[in-house]
A and B are shown apart, each in its own frame.
Chain A
Amino acid sequence: MYKFLLLVFVFCYINVNAQEQAMQLVQKVKAKLDVVNDYTAEGKMRTDVTFIKAPVGKVKVYYKKPNKFRLERNGGISILPKGGISINISSMIVVNGYMALDAGTAVVGTTNTRVIKLLPNAENSDIILSTLYIDEANLVIRKSVTTTRENGTYEMEMFYGKFISYGLPDKVIFSFNTKDYKLPKGVTLELDDVDQATKEKMKGKKGKVEIIYANYAINSGLAESIFK
């Protein structure tokens, strides 16, 4: 009986300890990101969705703590999937009140990461589950998979370079499932015939939006009016 109780105690201790460690790791990453109050970055955006043909365009992004984000295309038209996605790292962990669970380790690219699952405490939160792949050595998020109530599951992969000390990536690849997205019929005013092979090609592929950042201007004191 004592042995059984001891086993339960040890199991609970390990479990609670793992949760605490996971929570601490997330807090460390968040603390690193908190150094950045605001930033402006210029970059190039490429949309890779089978049913969208769009040129690579120059973009400018603005971010201000805690979660203000604006993406502006330099004099052109940009198409981004909806879903509360700001394509910024802070949005992945700025969830007020969450539970962090350690889910082991995984390799993202060539980097060993710790997998942390974040469960929001609020019942009406749009995010149901967020899985973060954290590079413990550099305290940065390498990848995240977020499941939302309204907009399905999307994935973000980050590649770091000279701004790794601020936790800011040089490249972000945002992936989402395109099978749920449908083009309207009847209002297109087009009568083009698309062959079956092209239609098949357009089905069931993941859509990607890739942003390659350059020229980060960090903590320059962005005005609130930019986000209005």
Chain B
Amino acid sequence: MWKHLQIELYKIFHRPRTYLAFAAITALIGVIQLGLKVDGKEYTEFVMADFAGSFSVDGKILNGYFICYVILQLLLVHVPLLIALIAADMISGEANMGTLRLLLTKPQSRTEILLAKFFASVIYTILLLIWIAIMGLFLSMAIFGTDDLFIMKSSYVVVVKSSDVFWRYCGAFCFAALAMTTVAALGFFLSFFAENSIGPIVATMSVIIVCTILSTMNIPLFNLIKPYLFTSHMVTWKEFFDFKVNDANEAIIGSIQYPEKIIKSAIVLVLHIIGFVAGGIWYFKKKDVLS
């Protein structure tokens, strides 16, 4: 399987569209950083307009940690499209080119071949997130410096001490990797049902858009299904940036407010990944491959 994984990675990284995703990430993050470097003060004044009327906030709010938080909030909505471009093409792309039957003549089992393909798309996903971390976190830290992280949630404000931020980003990126792997698994699953790449890519994005809307709308009917939608759990990375306080409202450094939420969401996402991959393999093993 290792040999097959190498071949799949070779295929992925010899396609121009793979680098299109990295170029798109670079451009998007670059635009955000440029915008905030030039007009960041106006942006923070706008975001904090009402709060600043009651409180005076002193310090370097517009620092590398804050910029990365803004980037993650904006990008993790769009990154699924870039992942679907590769993951949803893994099987359907082979079928479209007429190489699927040839691929299956190899001595490995269908499960091994499919798992190698899935793991290759997972490696691509992780590399994309590492690139986001390099551009969004490390480059922002270099350009804007570091300080405490100031986050305005819908009901309260959180100020995370600068020495307590970095490990939270490590956790958040690991969780984002799990969330994006779920997207890759969905794209991979849908690629079994088509013989061209466009269909599964569009279908993956459609499923994500519909589920995201259902996760966001606060309607009692949808609230019943929300816990089962993977999109409801994809945003749980934000939980890393909320900490516990003691009775005197003092921040407990190194704590997470709701660690159980992270564990629960991780379990739901892992179950989705297993479900999509196992479902796809089960379907494919019974399929009469003609292309």
Contact = CB atoms under 8 A, between A and B. Distances in A.
A53 B148 CA distance: 12
Interface string A162-195: 0000000000000000001111110111111010
Contacts of B248: 46, 48
A71 interface: yes
Q: Top 6 A-B pairs ranked by shortest CB distance?
A: A77-B59, A184-B50, A55-B251, A54-B159, A51-B156, A48-B249
A129 B30 CA distance: 53
B51 interface: yes
A184 B51 contact: yes
Interface string A51-87: 1111111000000000000011101111111100000
B89 interface: no
B8 interface: no
A49 B57 contact: no
A176 to B, nearest CB: 10
A148 to B, nearest CB: 13
Given A73-B58, A73-B59, A77-B60, A183 B164 contact: no
Nearest to A182: B50
B272 to A, nearest CB: 20
A54 B249 CA distance: 8
Contact of A76 (B148, B152, B235): B148
B154 A182 contact: no
Given A54-B157, A72-B58, A188-B153, 5 more contacts: A53-B159, A77-B60, A80-B58, A81-B56, A188-B152
A225 interface: no
B228 interface: no
A82 B54 contact: yes
B243 interface: yes
B147 A53 contact: no
B50 A183 contact: yes
Residue of B51, B150, B151 with most partner-chain A CB within 10 A: B51
B53 interface: yes
Interface of B: 46-51, 53-61, 70, 73, 147-148, 150-162, 164, 216, 235, 238, 242-243, 245, 248-251, 253
B155 A77 contact: no
Contacts of A198: 155
B61 to A, nearest CB: 6
B161 A76 contact: yes
A78 B57 contact: yes
Contacts of A228: none
B152 A183 contact: yes
A50 interface: yes
A80 to B, nearest CB: 5
Given A53-B242, A53-B245, A191-B154, A76 B46 contact: no
A47 interface: yes
Contacts of B245: 53
Contacts of A53: 156-159, 242-243, 245, 249, 251
A71 B58 contact: yes
A185 B147 CA distance: 25
B166 to A, nearest CB: 15
Nearest to A176: B54
A49 B251 CA distance: 12
A55 B161 contact: yes
Given A52-B157, A185-B154, A202-B155, A77 B58 contact: yes
A199 interface: yes
A50 B248 CA distance: 10
A80 B157 contact: no
A185 B152 CA distance: 10
B153 A192 contact: yes
B186 to A, nearest CB: 21
Contacts of A81: 54-56
Given A76-B147, A78-B59, A79-B157, A187 B249 contact: no
